[in-house]
Structure formats: C-alpha cells, structure tokens
Amino acid sequence: MNTKALTEMKWRRYDGRRIEGDIQEAVEKTVVREVAAGHRLKVCIGTDSQVRGKTVEFATVIVFLREKRGGFMFIANYKSEARMSLRERMILEVGRSVEIAYALCGILDRHQVELEVHADINTDPHFQSNVALKEAMGYILGMGFVFKAKPDAFASSACADKVC
C-alpha cells in the first residue's frame, strides 16, 4: 500500500461515524485532544481478515488506549478478490498494520505516545497461523516497532476481528 492508498482508505469510528479527510490529521487531532484532557495514551495497530467465498475481507484498526480510562478505535475495512494462502494472508495483514504504523509513527513520537503493532498470529506451533510468526515478527521488529502476537495482540485478534 502506498501513501495514496493510505489516504484513500475509508476510516470510521466504532459507532459508524466517518472520519473525514486525512487519517494522519485525524490521529494528530485525536492525540492532541486526549493529551490535553490529561490522558496518557498508547496506540495499538492491528489487522485481521476473514475469507468469505472468493473474497478476503480485511479490517485494520488504530486502537487508542487511555491509561486506566478505556479506549476507542478508528477502523478501515476493505476487500480483496486475490487468492492467497494462509501464510500470504497473515503477512499481508502484518504489512498493512506496519504501513499504518509507519505513516503515524512521526506523529506519535512527537507527542510521546507509545506504539505497538499487533499480529493475529498464534505463538503456539499447533495453530495454522504460526506458519507466518517468524516472518511477521522479523518484519515488525525490523521496522523498529514493538511487536505483539496472540494472546497479547488484542488490536488484531479482538478489535479488528469484531469489525471484519
């Protein structure tokens, strides 16, 4: 996904309200507002996908956690008709999360907001998604981000899963 594709993604809040304009501006305004309100923030980014017939449906979330004060998220859904293996799908999920994290990391660094990238990949080798664990972990850590996998990857395995 290039920068143009990032800006063309349609983002919304959990309640369905659309986020108008550039997602980077929306995140910055959100961070400024939350910090001004006295909240200590952490942002977690994750992507999940579901295969439905010949279509793969993806959901990427930007989860804003307020320390001891709950949280909220921004959501983008999109579809692909491409056929892919489970491993390819897992790596594509991670790639989308990393691209969003990369686009937002400057903003979050400027405001001293922690960032984690969550992968919907199981650390237990008995699960199929484990086939992509080493590659996903290497990619995320290699980009300089904090990596979380199941069971700690709630942004992808719980939040994105619910809106996919």
pLDDT 10s digits, 85-105: 988 999 999 999 999 999 999
Q: Which pair of tokens denotes residue 162?
A: 């619910």
What does the pLDDT look like over 99-137, one tens digit per residue? 999 999 999 999 999 999 999 998 888 888 888 898 999
For the beta sheet containing 114-122, the strands, ordered from the edge strand earlier in sequence to the opposite edge, are 11-13, 71-80, 55-66, 41-52, 114-122, 146-150
Per the structure, the count of domains in the chain is 1
Using an 8 Å Cβ cutoff, are 74 and 46 in contact?
Answer: no
73 pairs with which residues across the strands?
63
The DSSP-derived string for 70-82 is -EEEEEEEEEE--
pLDDT at residue 4, rounded to an integer: 44
Using an 8 Å Cβ cutoff, are 147 and 137 in contact?
Answer: yes
pLDDT at residue 1, rounded to an integer: 44
**Peptide bond before residue 151 is cis, with ω within 30 degrees of 0:** yes
User: For 4-8, 15-19, 77-81, 148-152, which range has the lowest pLDDT when averaged over its residues?
Assistant: 4-8
Q: Which pair of tokens denotes residue 72?
A: 């909220």
**Which residue, among 63, 66, 62, 13, has the nearest Cα to 35 in the 3D structure?**
66
How far apart are the C-alpha atoms of 79 and 125, rounded to whole Å?
28
The pLDDT-based confidence of 160 (bands split at 50, 70, 90) is: very high
Element (H, E) at 62: strand 55-66
Q: Name the residue range of residue 92's domain.
A: 3-163
